[in-house]
Structure 1
Amino acid sequence: MESSLRYGGDSKSLRIHAKEKYPIAADSNTQLQLHGELDTRIGAPSYLSAMIRHFYPDVSASIGAGIQYTRHEKLRYSVRGKKTIPVTDNGLINFNIKGRMIIDKEFKEVGVSFLLQFVSICETINAHSFLHKHKHNNILGPSFFNLHE
């Protein structure tokens, strides 16, 4: 299980984040991914998600579709994809290209986001983030530059 403590964003409280992946096919390239976030200020979940993800190891890519619940927007659907492009032969440095589309419960597009990450073994730098906002979109903040250790 992956877990982390997070602070900031639209909530000025500490959030406990956890993610787990369960293989659902014999080849283990298809997984059920569950993750959620507990906001310690309100004592309730601020985000819950279930997604089916399929990994294509021969091309270093994955796609996924699922459902998510947020305390602000309630129920949504999401489709996402990720492609990794190696920079070095040993795989220690890569570029990740990520894309995501969020759809509301009436199946209307809420937002689309794209992210390019420069990834090394010890840290990830979000080199560029582009968010295409629509009139109904309040899901993500402005473009960001972030350093994760």
Structure 2
Amino acid sequence: METSLRLRGGGGLRIHAKEKLPLGYNSLLQAHGEVDTTGGGPGPAPSYLALFVRHFYPQISANIGVGVQIHNGHDFTYSLRGKKAIPFTSNGLLGINLKCRLLTDKEFKPRKRTGAIELAWTILDFRKGQDVRLKLGYELYHKVPYFQLRENNWTLNGYMDGNWNVRFDM
């Protein structure tokens, strides 16, 4: 199981867990859960639960996923997401990513759309034992530029609208 601590600007600390179970050739079942430590109440209850089926197409550097999500125990949505990588180098360390996501309500009415294009650069052994990834992107629906800096277990995301978050993968 993959676990991480996540901190948002203006928000609180969240504990996130993810498990991936193989379903078959290039397919997996992915489960997520999250507890918001600022939620209050009698005890820690999940603030986010999700279950996705993801399929990978390595020959075209793409993947798609479909699933369901529950936010705060009552906000149920369906999710469809896709990602396509366009490598500039033969080793895939520099390239462009195209990403999209659609959330719908129970009646399949669109609730939230996101789409992004990002330049991704991975630097292996930036320093001995330290890999670095830098992403510069633009969210198409909200018209917000952003960046991501990842160093081994730490990830910093910054958005030009003033939002930010930090993640530590344990």
Residues 12 and 49 (structure 1), Cα distance of their counterparts in 2 relative to 1, 3 Å cut: same
- Per the alignment, residue 22 of structure 1 pairs with 21
Unaligned runs of 5+ residues in structure 1 are 133-141
Residue 117 of structure 1 contacts residue 128 of structure 1 at CA under 8 Å; is this kept in 2? yes
User: Normalised by the size of structure 1, how large is the TM-score?
Assistant: 0.82
- The letter for the 2-side match of 1:99 is C
Whichever of the two has the greater Rg, that structure is 2
Match of 1:136 in 2: none
Q: Percent identity?
A: 44
* 1:148 corresponding residue in structure 2: 149
Distance 2:22 2:38 in 1: 33
Equivalent position SS for 2:144: coil
Contact 1:21–1:34 (CA under 8 A) maintained in structure 2 = yes
Q: Which has the higher contact order (CA 8 A, sep 6+)?
A: 2
Note the C-alpha offset of 1:98. 0.6
**2:138 corresponds to 1:128:** yes
Q: CA RMSD in A?
A: 2.0
Q: 1:117 to 1:17 in 2, by over 3 A?
A: farther
Residue-by-residue CA offset, 1:98-149 (whole Å, 9 max, x unaligned): 11111101221112110112222222424111226xxxxxxxxx73513232
What SS does structure 2 have at the residue aligned with 1:12? coil
Structure 2 length as normaliser, TM-score? 0.72
Summarize the Cα distance change of 1:124–1:34 in structure 2 as closer, same or farther, 3 Å threshold: farther
The 5 Å alignment of 1:7-18 reads 7-8=7-8, 12-18=11-17
How do 1:1-149 and structure 2 match up within 5 A?
1-8=1-8, 12-25=11-24, 27=25, 29-42=26-39, 43-71=44-72, 74-121=75-122, 122-131=132-141, 143-149=144-150
User: Displacement, 1:18?
Assistant: 2.0
Give the length in aligned residue pairs.
137
